[in-house]
Amino acid sequence: MSVGRPLPGDVVEDAIDQPFWDACNDGVLLVYRCNICATSYWPAGSCTAHGMRDIEWVPAAGTGHLHTWTVVHQKYSKSFTDKPTVVAVVKLDEGPMLHTNLIDAEGTNLRVGMPVEVVFETIDEGAVLPVFRPLL
């Protein structure tokens, strides 16, 4: 059954990011890491520190801190629930920032720097998204 909202791969076929989505299906969060300077980032096609393309996908710890967020009350599609959606930017412990959703945050006093952890939300068959929840 379709959820009625774009799924990974719906917008543009992207073979480069396919390992990331495959890993999400296995409950693993990946980031790119430079094999020369060990800088981690997501997403990028080359090292952001010096432009080299000697990079590979590696598992991330799945933890980080809340960098910023907004609470969306408008229901833009039938596929969204009636609950407000927390759209967030998480700074992963490895360094990259990831646009995501924050879940299980109702009643939580959100604050910049709040520790968070990844959880994997299945939104459709074969479509698993990394979202985050506060680490209490």
Binding site for Zn ion (CB under 5 A): 34, 36-37, 39, 47, 49
Q: How far is the CB of 100 from Zn ion (least distance, A)?
A: 24
The residues with which 133 forms a beta bridge, in sequence order, are 117
Q: How far is the CB of 25 from Zn ion (least distance, A)?
A: 28
Residue closer to Zn ion by CB (options 84, 95) is 95
Residue closer to Zn ion by CB (options 48, 63) is 48
Q: How far is the CB of 39 from Zn ion (least distance, A)?
A: 5
Sign of torsion, CA 134 87 119 31?
negative
Q: What are phi and psi of 52, to 5 degrees?
A: -75, 150
Residue closer to Zn ion by CB (options 47, 98) is 47
Burial of 86 (0-12, 13-18, 19+ CB in 10 A): buried
